[in-house]
Structure 1
């Protein structure tokens, strides 16, 4: 009788584990099926680099994480970076990045770099920033794809640094930033950010906020 009860209990737990496994698999599949392949992500249509530049800086306000910088022994914990896009005398798309990079609560430094901006795959909104890394003496490159912008006060920027076999982005290598000409987003802008973020499987409610209350002198020198 005791042996029979043990067998029944083991079968019961086996069934429960099987059901949980099936449910988990379906949940994961359901979540992954909503994530678009990188090749099908809708970017800002008819993107105009010169309007985007606008002779005004863009401040990073919300972000999920910072792209790792080669040569730093510690990961970037926080950053209040600003971007100024323009064209040089050769009509080349350029960018100046300036702000404070924080590695730990008591370790931070101000940074100012000038780089070149390329448009990838014939898509004007798929920008790639290229800088000379003074730490490694090599080129430092990262994606900067404009998903949406009104050119006036809002831009939602995305980057995928590792594409999976199924064509979607590896979650740990997905980046999302929001930019503003000022230091805040309106409720209407936040709704747009939520909608755009959802289209690339990003929950914007967990994004980190940058206040820009005490910017580095280099960031203040950028056009505002």
Structure 2
């Protein structure tokens, strides 16, 4: 009897693993990740503050992109995308990096699928990368997803999967809004625990021009 129970337990574990994998595979397929519906570029314009982000899996790039007080200004352009201005601080205000870039929309029918590029030394090394809007309410938060390497099975390489959250202010999101952010990340197979908060000390704000 004990042996039969053991076999049943093993079978259930295998079945659970298979079912979990099938659900995960379905959710994590890039073509099936739900994105913001009817993304409105004009409503998205303005200043956003970096709130949470995944770390870049490159020790050198990670060192230079560990920025405090990160904020980015989106301004719509005639090409149908955005002109970007970003600023932050490092070394507790000893260095105030800033830069310009653009967010291009390749398909006007899917403006939520942008590609971003910053014309800075680090930006040129990273290059133009996808920046998909998973979800935004325009007034409080925006959740971005970026896959830097698509696999043959249509999913994203876990080591090349990135996400970041921006907010309209540096104040913490309400429990309800944070739940919406977590749900959006989960729909792209990203756990919010994989993201680290961006600290805001208020350095360099008088120098950023945003």
* TM-score tier after normalising by the smaller chain length: 0.7 to 0.9
- Using the alignment, how far apart are the partners of 2:17 and 2:207 within structure 1? 47
- Using the alignment, how far apart are the partners of 1:57 and 1:136 within structure 2? 20
- Using the alignment, how far apart are the partners of 1:142 and 1:59 within structure 2? 20
Say if 1:67 and 1:131 are closer, same or farther in 2 by CA, change over 3 A. farther
Residue 111 (structure 1) aligns with: 97
Say if 1:220 and 1:133 are closer, same or farther in 2 by CA, change over 3 A. closer
Residue 95 (structure 1) aligns with: 84
CA contact (8 A) 2:76 2:82 kept: yes
Shift of residue 172, structure 1, vs aligned partner: 1.1
Normalising by structure 2, we get a TM-score of 0.77
- Using the alignment, how far apart are the partners of 2:129 and 2:206 within structure 1? 21
Gaps in structure 2 of 5+ consecutive residues: 1-6
Deviating beyond 4 angstroms after TM superposition, the runs of 4 or more aligned structure 1 residues are: 21-25, 88-92, 135-139
Residue 44 (structure 2) aligns with: 52
- Using the alignment, how far apart are the partners of 1:144 and 1:131 within structure 2? 12
- Using the alignment, how far apart are the partners of 1:214 and 1:32 within structure 2? 40
CA contact (8 A) 2:50 2:166 kept: yes
The structure with the greater share of residues assigned to helix is: 2
Secondary structure class of the residue paired with 1:59:
strand
- Using the alignment, how far apart are the partners of 1:204 and 1:136 within structure 2? 25
Shift of residue 92, structure 1, vs aligned partner: 6.1
Shift of residue 208, structure 1, vs aligned partner: 0.8
- Using the alignment, how far apart are the partners of 2:187 and 2:123 within structure 1? 36
Q: How many residues align?
A: 197
Say if 1:200 and 1:89 are closer, same or farther in 2 by CA, change over 3 A. closer
Secondary structure class of the residue paired with 2:183:
helix
Say if 1:86 and 1:219 are closer, same or farther in 2 by CA, change over 3 A. farther
Say if 1:217 and 1:172 are closer, same or farther in 2 by CA, change over 3 A. same
- Using the alignment, how far apart are the partners of 1:62 and 1:139 within structure 2? 19
Q: Which of the pair has more CA radius of gyration?
A: 1
Say if 1:197 and 1:90 are closer, same or farther in 2 by CA, change over 3 A. closer
Shift of residue 187, structure 1, vs aligned partner: 0.7
Does 1:129 find its partner at 2:116?
A: yes
Normalising by structure 1, we get a TM-score of 0.72
CA contact (8 A) 2:116 2:129 kept: yes
